[in-house]
Amino acid sequence: MIDGKKVLFSGMQATGNLTLGNYLGALKNWLTLSDEYECFYSVVDLHSITVRQEPAELRKRARNLLTLYIAAGLDPKKNCIYYQSHVSGHSQLAWILNCFTYMGELNRMTQFKDKAAKHTDNINAGLFTYPVLMAADILLFQSDVVPVGKDQLQHLEITRDIAQRFNGIYGEVFTVPEPYIGKTGAKIMSLQDPLKKMSKSDENPNASILLMDDPDTVIRKFKRAVTDSDACICYRDEQPGIKNLLDIYCTCTNKSTAEAVKEFEGKGYGEFKLAVGEAVVAVLKPVQEEFSRLSKDKAYIDGVIKENAQKADYYANKTLRKVEKKIGFPERIR
């Protein structure tokens, strides 16, 4: 609890350009939760280097991502928006938690298996212990709730296990967090293969809508989206392409699935795809405009970076001192 409010933590990696999946699965929920909770939204650049990064590119992407959090509507006065690498507590707690995590647990992580298969030339120890750093992010702020897409549930589960294990040994040190999965948009699928999640690292440019895509590109990508030959706009597993488009449409328009299905009853796929594209354009346009405005205001963004890192550092250190004491590290002499 901070000032009587429950704590929320979430983060995104500064790798690749954000997709509609990231926006609908994560960012959009962040906005709806930001009044109710004391929120920490981090640009998790320490996580990004588990895959090799070009330094100038990483720096640029991290700044763009931080700016995008604000452009999407998160007020940096109310939400702590900061770079993970500016708060050393993340790495410090991660080391400690490494010593309370089992190899067998990490071996079961599907994201590790996927990424290791993708980057066979660089299966580094950081990629393996990635979930421990994520647990440290969350536990460092005594977070109650963590809004993520469905793909991150396994990492939330291991975070809870680590917290409970630690508490079991040392007493109630960490708050055990709960995941928060949005009602719609929890898993946006690829437009080219609706059985695969939409991912910013997809090689096929038509598979993902990027947050910075202009309206023509968005409409064109939806026109090319893979569907089926059933000629029915129905919400069912047998039609994963149409189901995904309905999910996107409903999340963007805040309509229910039943409403959307009724709206497009008897209509053709062409008309439906265009409507989905237009709904997405309407959501992206204001974010893009605000991003372009904020990007030019260097002093403002620099101020946010500095102030929020200090705030995050303060709360991180509070937890860290408590953990160090419980473990038996010598007290700091002031």
Q: Does 187 bind ligand ATP (CB under 6 A)?
A: yes
Return the H-helix or E-strand segment holding 323.
helix 298-327
Q: Token match 């212990």: residue?
A: 129
With CB atoms as reference, the residue minimizing the distance to ligand ATP is 25
Selected binder of ligand ATP within 80, 198, 284, 323 (CB under 6 A)? 198
Quick check: 192 and 206 in contact, CB under 8 A?
yes
Strands (E), the chain: 7-12, 38-43, 79-83, 145-147, 178-180
Query: Minimum Å distance from CB 224 to ligand LTN?
Result: 27
Give Cα 14 to chain centroid, integer Å: 10
Instruction: Reply yes or no on whether 200 is catalytic.
Output: yes
200 binds, among ligand ATP, ligand LTN, none (CB under 5 to 8 A by kind): ligand ATP
* Site residues (vs ligand LTN, CB under 6 A): 9-13, 44, 47, 134, 137-138, 146, 148, 152, 155
The amino acid at 30? W
Q: Could you tell which of ligand ATP, ligand LTN, none binds residue 311, using a CB distance below 5 to 8 A set by kind?
A: none
Q: Give the other-Cβ count within 10 Å of 24's Cβ.
A: 26
Whole-angstrom distance, CA of residue 64 vs CA of residue 200: 15
197 is catalytic: yes
User: 43 forms bridges with which residues in the sheet?
Assistant: 12, 83
Q: Check residue 32 for interaction with ligand ATP (CB under 6 A).
A: no
89 binds, among ligand ATP, ligand LTN, none (CB under 5 to 8 A by kind): none
Q: Which of 7, 8, 9, 25 binds ligand ATP (CB under 6 A)?
A: 25
Question: What is the edge-to-edge ordering of all strands in the sheet holding 7-12?
Answer: 79-83, 38-43, 7-12, 145-147, 178-180
Footprint (CB under 6 A) of ligand ATP, residues 138-157 = 148-149, 151-152
Is-catalytic flag, 311? no
Contacts of 261 (CB under 8 A, 6+ apart): 233, 234, 235, 246
Calculate ∠ Cα 281-285-287, nearest 5°. Answer: 125
**Token reading at 192:** 């080219």
Picked from ligand ATP, ligand LTN, none, the partner binding residue 187 (CB below 5 to 8 A depending on kind) is ligand ATP
Using the minimum distance from each CB to ligand ATP, give the nearer residue, 46 or 148: 148
User: Looking at 6, 60, 78, 115, which residue is catalytic?
Assistant: 115
Choose, by CB under 6 A, the member of 7, 8, 9, 15 that binds ligand ATP: 15
Q: Which x/- pattern, by CB under 6 A, does the window 94-133 give for ligand ATP?
A: ----------------------------------------
- Cα angle 264, 270, 273 (rounded to 5 degrees) comes to 70
Residue from 28, 90, 155, 197 touching ligand ATP (CB under 6 A): that is 197
Total residues binding ligand ATP (CB under 6 A): 21
Q: Any bridge partners for residue 255, and if so which?
A: none
Residue 79 contacts residue 70 (beta carbons within 8 Å)? no
Looking at 6, 187, 200, 326, which residue is catalytic? 200
What residues line the site for ligand ATP (CB under 6 A)? 12-13, 15-16, 19, 21-22, 25-26, 148-149, 151-152, 186-188, 197-201
Task: Show which residues are catalytic.
Answer: 115, 197, 200
